[in-house]
Every structure is written in structure tokens, then in C-alpha cells.
Amino acid sequence: MIASFRRYRGGNISASLRIPPSESLRHNADMSWKVIRLELARTPEYPQGSPAHAYVLRLPIDDNGMLEKRTLRHPGERPVVRRFWPGVAEREGIVIPKGRGWVFSYEPGESDDEALFHLENHPIKLGQYLTITEPDGEKLPFKVVSCHD
């Protein structure tokens, strides 16, 4: 992961975060890291769902589909996310704990964070649904369409 910060005249600071593909999907045989694809489920705007609205996550999950918090504390490994949205540039970020839950964070600060509803106690299994809260507060359902090593 590469983070860079730049200070401008007047004191403003710009920050960027880049996760090289080789790092973001790296596999360590000693860990239970999975690559998970979430696609937008049915909504009023997309009654059939939308595979074009998707997230690809790399998370440590156990055989029951539960997040392995113990593995997350292992140095050198970070849970990551990529966001795919029609008409918008692909975004790469990290999955971090926040309060009692977890968020996708793409930039330093909280203005772009997307919260995951009950990731800490909800299994991530093929066919299951997760709710993601967009930065503007909109809650969207996503279906787990793939989960593999």
C-alpha cells in the first residue's frame, strides 16, 4: 500500500492511498483470506439487481463465513476493497474497524467511508446479503456472488 500526502499553500493537505493489485489480492497460505465479490441486489432503481455495481473484498473469514478478527491483527496483512460503479473511476481502499462495526475507507478521514451492517457477526457466504451504507446515508443491499481462496 502506498500513501502520499501533499501540503499546499494555505495549509491544505491532500492525501491519496494506492493499493497495488499484487498487494491487494496477495494470498498467504497460512491465513484464511478469501476474495469475495458483492453485487448490488434488487432495489427500486435496479429491480433485477446490478452486477455493474460491485465490490471485491479480500478478508480473512473462517469456515463458517465469519470475519476472523484474530487474523486481522497479524502484521503485514490488510483487508482491502475495490469498488466498481458505472461511470465512476474504480476505487481502492481498506476495510477498517470503526466504532462497533466496519467501514470501507478510500481516503484518510471519514467523509468517504461506507459502513457495513453487522459484518462482525454476520456470515459472508455465497448467496447471503450485506447492507452497505453509502457516504450520503443511502443503505444498499449487496449479494455475495463469489467467495474463494
What is the per-residue pLDDT across 90-118, written as a single tens digit (0 to 9) for each? 999 999 888 888 899 999 888 899 999 88
Q: Is 46 exposed, middle or buried (0-12, 13-18, 19+ CB in 10 A)?
A: middle
145 within 8 A of 139, measured Cβ to Cβ: no
Q: Where are the domains of the chain?
A: 28-148
Name the nearest CA neighbour of 131 among 98, 99, 102: 102
Q: Write down the pTM of the prediction.
A: 0.77
Question: Tens of pLDDT along 31-56?
Answer: 589 999 999 999 999 999 999 999 99
| Whether 114 contacts 135, CB under 8 Å | yes
